[in-house]
Amino acid sequence: MKLHNLRQQYKKGTINEVNLPDDPIIFFKEWFTEAMQFHQFEANAFILSTVSANRPSSRVILLKEISTKGFVFFTNYNSRKGMELNQNPFASLNFFWPDLERQVRVEGKVAKIEPDESDCYFLSRPMESQVSAIISPQSSIIESKQELLQIKNDFLSKGLKIQRPENWGGFCLTPDYFEFWQGGADRLHDRIIYSASNESQWLKNRLAP
């Protein structure tokens, strides 16, 4: 396979800063709506990058809400990402929508959402997903898949009450930096950044591709 010869021309759009909203959340919602409309598979999926004391790590996560505070997602608080966010709350999100030739990078500080908000989302999930969240010690080494299924069966056969475990819930990333990237002809892509200034306003700039 000749990877050197893999080459796409990007031609689906441009970003004209004259018409851009002052609030990047509004711009994000516009692009997100378009990503959903294009039937992009898992348009709400993003790469979450976290940093422990000395190295970064990344994984795919699903966005579940854009609240007034920021971007909300759900996970196991004892997972690798949970531990890393505990050590260092700064993280980045990367949305890649290839059908639209777009990428959005978001950076900011992450905090746990309120327990009752996590309860609310947990209760909205299918029962099987609730049980998986309860029985899976996410990111821990386990003996085998069989062992996990056994734990699940034991849990179900005991008829225990299904409720959100304290170690599972939502995080919210409050953004202080955005980059909107639109693929351009001949690699002259559009890159517009929004940085939160001290006056709690957003500064808009264009970056070279």
Ligand X SMILES: Cc1cc2nc3c(=O)[nH]c(=O)nc-3n(C[C@H](O)[C@H](O)[C@H](O)COP(=O)(O)O)c2cc1C
Q: Which of 7, 55, 59, 187 does the annotation list as catalytic?
A: 187
Contacting residue, 22, 23, 30, 42, with ligand X by CB under 6 A: 42
Residue 87 contacts ligand X per CB under 6 A: no
59 binds ligand X (CB under 6 A): yes
Q: Is 81 in the site for ligand X (CB under 6 A)?
A: yes
Are 43 and 62 a contacting pair, CB within 8 Å?
Answer: no
> First and final CA of the chain: distance in angstroms?
28
Using the contact rule CB under 6 A, the part of the chain among 14-22, 78-86, 170-178, 191-199 near ligand X is 78-86
Give residue 159's Cα distance to chain centre.
34
Q: Which of 15, 25, 43, 61 binds ligand X (CB under 6 A)?
A: 61
Q: Work out how close the CB of 153 gets to ligand X at its nearest, in angstroms, rounded to a whole number.
A: 23
Strand partners of residue 72: 65, 172
The token pair at 105 is 């990078």
Q: From the CB of 44, what's the least distance to ligand X, in Å?
A: 9
Is 187 a catalytic site residue? Answer: yes
Which of the ranges 58-66, 106-114, 177-185, 196-204 carries the binding residues for ligand X, by CB under 6 A?
58-66
> Rg of the Cα trace of the chain?
20
Is residue 118 part of the contact set for ligand X (CB under 6 A)?
Answer: no
Question: If binding is defined by CB under 6 A, does position 140 make contact with ligand X?
Answer: no
Closest CA to 75 of 172, 171, 163, 162: 171
Contact indicator for 209, 183 with CB cutoff of 8 Å: no
Tokens of 19: 């018409």
Q: H or E element: which one contains 121?
A: helix 115-124
81 vs 102, which CB is nearer to ligand X? 81
As annotated, the active-site residues are 187
